[in-house]
Amino acid sequence: MTQLLLINPNTTASMTAAIGDAARAVAAPGTHVHACQPTFGPASIEGHFDDAIAAAGVAEQMRLADPAPDAVVIACFGDPGLDAAREAIDAPVLGIAEAAFHAAAMLATGFSVVTTMTRTCVIAERLLQRYGFERICRGVHGTDIPVLALEAMAPDTLAQIEAACRHALDADRSGAIVLGCAGMASLTRTLQRRLGVPVIDGVAAAVKFAEALAALGLKTSKRGDYACPLPKHYDGWAAALGWPPAG
């Protein structure tokens, strides 16, 4: 049995449940998906400030993980706290943006990202640069649909996202679409059928890559910067997050 810890970095429990369902829909029979969310932080992640607090929430959930996971997926498109999470554990840790970019790059010479609020586009653009995909991604497109509005998924919301995908494919001359929010996972098959190109949901991609790495017995390198955090005292509300873990 592969224990897969799926962290929704925002605090909206209904979104955690939906992301968990999306993960279980693609998970192998031998994978147990444990979906969770931080006990503090923003209800949705739509900017740098939300992202910073959510990263601490991811660190909290890494600490509370029991049993020790065989793989971890951080299910927010900003990949908040990804490097920190890799320091905290040996098991592979994947962000959904990173996983989706890798999948898209294996399916098309150029892809477009269609995301939520336009203000979050720069977060995706910086991740593309950091991960080395800036020459394969041909455009990042905001829809100005708030993350939590995706939960209701009104028909006009789907139509708006579909229209943004069609525009992106034409304007960018792209061959694939990456959906830029964990809350878009349920749209993947519908959009792929309607658009006739690969549509990549990072949650599903990350779950399958995580399973593959775990099955191969591959773990995060502990040589260098992903080594365990240095032991030290943390103050204030973060005291419980200091290293080594208490108890």
| x-marked contacts with ligand 2AL along 28-67 as a string, rule CB under 6 A | ----------------xxx---------------------
20 binds ligand 2AL per the rule CB under 6 A:
no
180 binds ligand 2AL per the rule CB under 6 A:
yes
Cis bond upstream, residue 67 (ω within 30)? yes
Cβ distance to ligand 2AL smaller for residue 38 or 92: 38
115 binds ligand 2AL per the rule CB under 6 A:
yes
The tokens of 193 are what? 């059928």
Segment interacting with ligand 2AL, rule: CB under 6 A, options 30-38, 112-120, 129-137, 171-179: 112-120
What's 52-116 look like in SS3? HHHHHHHHHHHHHCCCCCCEEEECCCCCCCHHHHHHHCCCCEEEHHHHHHHHHHCCCCCEEEEEC
Among 114, 168, 182, 185, binds ligand 2AL (CB under 6 A): 182
Structural contact between residues 213 and 71, judged by C-beta atoms closer than 8 angstroms: yes
Residues 135 to 154 in contact with ligand 2AL, rule: CB under 6 A: 147
Cis bond upstream, residue 244 (ω within 30)? yes
76 binds ligand 2AL per the rule CB under 6 A:
yes
Alpha carbons 236 and 63: distance in angstroms, whole number? 17
Ramachandran sector of residue 199 (left: φ over 0; alpha: ψ -120 to 50; beta: rest) = beta
What minimum distance in Å lies between the beta carbon of 78 and ligand 2AL? 6
The tokens of 93 are what? 């840790």
Cβ distance to ligand 2AL smaller for residue 62 or 97: 97
The DSSP secondary structure of 182-197, one letter per residue, reads GGGGGGHHHHHHHH-S
Segment interacting with ligand 2AL, rule: CB under 6 A, options 81-89, 153-161, 174-182, 204-212: 174-182
Query: For binding to ligand 2AL (CB under 6 A), which residues are involved?
Result: 10, 44-46, 76-78, 115-116, 120, 147, 180-182
